[in-house]
Structure 1
Amino acid sequence: MRKLIQFLFIAVVLLLVEFVLINYATLLFLLTSIIIQLCGIIIAIRLLLFDQRNTSSKVAWMAVIFILPVLGTISYFVFGRNPATRKFSTAQVMEKAKLINAIHAIPNNTNEKLPRLSKRIAHLTSIEPIKGNKIEILTNGEETFPVLLDALRKAENHIHIQYYIFKTDAISTEIRDILVEKAKSGVEVRFMFDGLGSSKLSKSFLAPLKEAGVSIHAFDPITSPWIVRTANLRNHRKIVVIDGQIGFTGGLNIGEEYRSNTPDFRVWRDTHIKITGQAVIELQESFLNDWIYMENQAGAADKFISDSGLKQYFSPVDMGEEWAQVIYGGPYDKEKWVRDSMLDLIDSAKESVWIVSPYFVPDEESLAVIRRVAMSGVDVRVIIPGKGDRGISFHGSNAYVKTMIEAGAQMYAYADDSFVHAKAMLVDGTRAAIGTANFDVRSFRLNHELMVFLYDESEAMHHLKRDFKKDFEDSRLFTMKDMENKPLLTRVKEVLSSLLSPIL
């Protein structure tokens, strides 16, 4: 009887909707159009008068809203709202402050003679460089995954693992099964993945982890219209911390394509970094900062900042003499710490700036800095993909090639049967940055990102330099003739992508 009543109710509702559409469709369409246009005007006024984002982003949003009113207005409400207006719970604010204050109170090596650039970045970000590390550059998945798997299998106390994309293929399953095995043996395992980037992770894939006692968080999952405003603000970090002593970060997510097992590309070119020693403290800080944000409860930080917690999670031993400075930031920070630190690195150049990035869509300030450095006679070289994985980003990157060449930079397209996904910078052959941030507006303004800054002429620096030289050999140098001979359709795609780049 109950099902019959439900069926009759649904039928009546559908008949009423049909009656309204048949008799008042024109009026409804007119009213809807007026409401959407009014919303667009209100949004434009708000952007012009009250929004603090950069001018190019405002212009891009206004263009989309007025050219495509319906799609533009809906997209703005989903993706375009200023992250600075995001409200946090009292627990999230208080627990983060407790964590940061406790970690920054740990004695460090600031009495050492600090690298000059690191002082500027420390003054900018309040994150100090740390000595006492062994740094290893890992080229592509072929080098990265065997080292990562070995370190995971040797974990004795805890594993903290965070990825933007974690798939369900062979390498993903292998890592999951190691986490399960370690959790069953008594190792603490905390697993965090981005709620959108890894949205395809199924309950069945995660079930063995939960059964083994692994703690799991999806970062800002899109589970309801109420929190859809975070859909465009993603956690792009890739972090693994093992026993508070070994850390990994860089460009590689977890999936078979990251070890070149994909029909789309012959080679997936990427760069990861392994840190053993004191700077792992800062990778741990970044991970736990995100973890307690998702815990969202009073006392979430207490386990990690008690006397025993500090000893367990923040007591790495010296493993070398190299310096490292881990800078992390995101859309909710007042300043763009990651971007500005990268610009400080570029601005310190005397001889050369080499950059590799899968997406080269700089904002106005970043473009101005790198063009000025190139025009000053510094050897500026940038490697971008010769074949893209996403059309709008690929064309958006190519839209900046001409202006960079005009400034005196050398722009390279990586092999057109492969994909370059590495995020790295090398300045004067003696200073570098490697991590998760692309050289684009999304990484600078919308994503949660992390970069590791290096300051020693070490084997790691030489390894990175060799990789760059090999990548130049595997790439094609753009010329002004290439720019002049571009087909009209390609130019249109690049112009449109460039217009939309501030909101990509």
Structure 2
Amino acid sequence: VLLDHWANRGKPFYKKTLQRLDRMGAAWHLMLPVQPLKGKWQRPDLRNHRKLLVVDGEVAFVGSQNVTDSTYNLKKNIKRGLHWVDLMARVEGPVVSSIDVVFLSDWYSETGEILTDQVDLASVASSDGNLDCQIVPSGPGFEYQNNLKLFMGLLFAAREKIIIVSPYFVPEESLLLSLVTACQRGIHVELFVSEEGDQAMVYHAQRSYYEALLRAGVTIWMYKRPFILHSKSLTIDDEVAVIGSSNMDMRSFGLNMEISMMVRGEEFVADMRRVEAEYRSLSRELTLEEWLKQPLRSTVLDNLARLTSALQ
């Protein structure tokens, strides 16, 4: 088990969970520990944000789900009645080894221990499935922003439809431009975000982009409170989908270690369309007319938050 130290410290049941792992004999390590008194010091702004599970090297899960209650067991969330809504994909076949390698690389980076015997490449060398999958890890250790490059390439390749689900949508300028130009090319673009915010600065920074998106022709769906739409996905036309841990924000592009799975195949995209339809039924559409009625103080706060978006 690998878990991010800074993101989990002080959380409800954190210490009890580690004690339970010890009692059951599980091997666990903290990722990016910030423990100067123990001689362990990593930058506290970095995160291992990946969410993955590999079982026997044969089955894997990737997506947005953390291993916690839908309220994160936080009193402030319970008081507000907030519940997180997530999306995971269960996969078999050759792609499992790629997901396994991401975990093993993270394990090695923290422990120096090589677990190559844990991956049996021969057992997953072939599959009867009809989907093409590619795992795209990203993070500060890579020379380029792999997740941003993946998203940009797919957005520019779109011909008919782009649907984005991102709870924290704080794009850098090239990504924003790609969506605006997609609308200008006549492509239908939809963005799903949450009506309710759980992180004030990110929530307001995200709102600062709504007017430009609405004027360009993007349809914005607000997932109704008291639920936080935490899923992260992208679908292009009826051909390609991406699901994983990466938000479309500057933190995910530059500071977080993320994992994304790109899938090519109409069957998978059709499943994603059903998920998107469910999200749509539980959301309300934000119109430009409604947005322009926002009070000036909200606009000022949104724009101030945007100035600090690279640090959030």
Q: TM-score, normalised by structure 2?
A: 0.91
Distance (whole Å) between structure 1 residues aligned to residue 160 and residue 266 of structure 2: 15
Residue in 2 aligned with 1:36? Answer: none
CA separation of 1:273 and 1:263: change in aligned 2, threshold 3 A: farther
Q: Please, which of 213, 222, 232 is the counterpart of residue 25 of structure 2?
A: 213
Match of 2:291 in 1: 483
| Separation in structure 1 between the aligned mates of residue 141 and residue 66 of structure 2, nearest angstrom | 23
Q: Does 1:195 align with 2:8?
A: no
Q: Contact (CA 8 Å) 2:244, 2:261: kept in 1 or not?
A: yes
Q: CA deviation at 1:321?
A: 2.2
1:444 is aligned with what amino acid? F
Name which of 32, 47, 53 aligns with 1:240.
53
**CA RMSD for the aligned pairs?**
2.2
Q: Which residue of 2 aligns with 1:399?
A: 208
CA distance in 2: counterparts of 1:211 and 1:454, whole angstroms: 39
**Number of equivalent positions:** 305
The equivalent residue for 1:271 is 87
Alignment partner of 2:34: what SS? coil
In structure 1, stretches of 5+ residues that fail to align are: 1-190
> Does 1:468 find its partner at 2:276?
yes
For 2:118 and 2:28, locate their aligned partners in 1 and report how far apart those are by CA, in whole Å. 20
Task: Indicate the residue corresponding to 2:181 in structure 1.
Answer: 372
Which of the two has greater helix per residue? 1
Partner residue in 2 for 1:352: 161
Q: Is contact 1:395-1:494 (8 Å) kept?
A: yes
Higher strand proportion (structure 1 or 2) = 2
| Residue 309 of structure 1, CA deviation | 4.9
Structure 2 matches for 1:14-53, cutoff 5 A?
Answer: none
Assess if the C-alpha contact under 8 Å between 1:283 and 1:326 holds in 2.
Answer: yes
What amino acid is the match of 1:492? Answer: V
Residue 276 of structure 1, CA deviation: 1.2
Cα distance 1:258–1:326, how it changes in 2: closer, same or farther (>3 A)?
A: farther
Q: 1:365/1:227 Cα in 2 relative to 1: closer, same or farther (>3 Å)? A: farther
**Matched-pair contact (CA < 8 Å) for 2:83–2:227:** yes
Alpha-carbon deviation of 1:269? 2.2
Q: CA deviation at 1:474?
A: 2.0
Cα distance change of structure 1 residues 251 and 258 upon mapping to structure 2, 3 Å threshold: farther
Q: Which amino acid in structure 2 is aligned with residue 331 of structure 1?
A: P
* d(CA) in 2 for partners of 1:293, 1:384: 34
Q: Look up the match of 1:417.
A: 226
Conserved? CA contact 2:70–2:85, under 8 Å: no
Q: Which has more radius of gyration?
A: 1
Distance 2:169 2:249 in 1: 5
Q: Secondary structure at the match of 2:266?
A: coil
Higher RCO (Cα < 8 Å, 6 or more apart): 2
Question: What is the TM-score with the length of structure 1 in the denominator?
Answer: 0.57
Unaligned runs of 5+ in 2: none
- Residue 214 of structure 1: SS of its match in structure 2? coil
Query: Aligned residues: percent identity?
Result: 26
SS at match of 1:439: coil
Task: Check 1:208–1:359 CA distance in 2 against 1; reply closer, same or farther (3 A cut).
Answer: closer
- Counterpart of 2:296, as a letter, is L
Q: SS at the partner of 2:17?
A: helix
The CA deviation at 1:282 is: 0.8
2:28 match: secondary structure: strand
Q: 1:232 to 1:483 in 2, by over 3 A?
A: same
The partner residue of 2:152 within 339, 343, 356 is 343
Q: How does 1:94-243 map to 2 (within 5 A)?
A: 191-200=1-10, 202-224=14-36, 230-243=43-56
Q: Structure 1, residues 295-329: CA drift from partner, whole Å, max 9, x if none?
A: 13xxx32x41xxx5543x76326252221111011
